[in-house]
Amino acid sequence: MVTVGAVTIDGVQRKRANRLLLAARRSRARARLLSRLVLLGPPGAGKGTQAEVLERKFGICHLSTGEILRDVAAGNGLPQTSALKSALRYMRRGELVPDATILELVRERRDCLHAHQGFALDGFPRTLPQARALNRLLLQEGLTLDAALEFSLPMEQVIKRLSGRRICPNGHGVYHLKARPPKVDEQCDRCGAKLVRREDDRPEVVRARMNAYEKSTRPLIAFYKEQGLLITIKAQGKPNEVFTRTVNALKRNL
């Protein structure tokens, strides 16, 4: 016989209480979203937009390697070491930055992998060696990946999206002239700065990025499929429509 607060429980009641507690835990786990995520998809598929909303609504840590590099380029981020200066040259040409530089940037931010609500890796991994290195890093950190979300979008839509995309120069978000216009023409909703076109959204650079995607990143879809982690989401439509699909997929696959 044990007394808990004002209630006295015997062995049978304790077993029942434990069973109920276990059931409650399981149902909470089922209600939880898959939240340790890799986001895949061609440039312009909307990975960054979806990751931003996942962060805002669910507190999932958004780690974007492209954003880190753009901050460095704008002088808002890390000091420009020679490795980072060279990385920016690759980026301007629409080519992939060497794996070693990217892995260093991610390792420096491993706290994000431990975020209580999970993480969304946006633009990383982008090559098979990066994906294998991520698996090793997660293992070292005692973490597992819940899912790899592939945002699929036909090529003609990719081109449309990239040509209308504008960003806040102070890193306050991504807009689209038609699909996600700012409240005031060409101005950031949060800081009022004049929106700019990303340097690598120029048509000649977009071609190089698409080639890099086809050659180096598309193979990751098969890589994650083999591990039983791939979830494909249609990326057509408005950002909030894609977000609803994303959340449903993260729930449905529990």
**Which residues sit at the interface with ligand ADP, rule CB under 6 A?**
43-44, 65-66, 69, 90-91, 94-97, 102, 123-124, 126, 130, 200, 209
Cβ proximity to ligand ADP, 9 vs 179, nearer residue: 179
Cβ proximity to ligand ADP, 9 vs 128, nearer residue: 128
Does the active-site annotation cover 26?
Answer: no
* Distance in angstroms (rounded) separating the CA atoms of residues 161 and 199: 15
R_g of the chain computed on alpha carbons: 21
* Distance in angstroms (rounded) separating the CA atoms of residues 76 and 25: 43
Cβ within 8 Å of residue 119, ≥6 positions away: 35, 36, 37, 60, 61, 62, 63, 112, 113
Q: Which of 126, 161, 166, 180 is catalytic?
A: 126
Q: Residue 130 Cβ, how far from ligand ADP at the closest point, in Å?
A: 6
Beta-bridge partners for 120 = 37, 62
Candidates 51, 71, 58; CA nearest to 167 is 71
Q: Residue 218 Cβ, how far from ligand ADP at the closest point, in Å?
A: 13
* Distance in angstroms (rounded) separating the CA atoms of residues 250 and 113: 18
Cβ proximity to ligand ADP, 13 vs 152, nearer residue: 152
Q: Which of 160, 198, 218, 225 is catalytic?
A: 198
Q: Residue 91 Cβ, how far from ligand ADP at the closest point, in Å?
A: 4
Candidates 79, 64, 73, 49; CA nearest to 174 is 49
Does the active-site annotation cover 47?
Answer: yes
Cβ proximity to ligand ADP, 123 vs 173, nearer residue: 123
Does the active-site annotation cover 198?
Answer: yes
Q: Which residue is nearest to ligand ADP (CB)?
A: 66
Q: Residue 98 Cβ, how far from ligand ADP at the closest point, in Å?
A: 7
Say which amino acid occupies 6.
A
Q: Which residues are catalytic?
A: 47, 126, 165, 198, 209
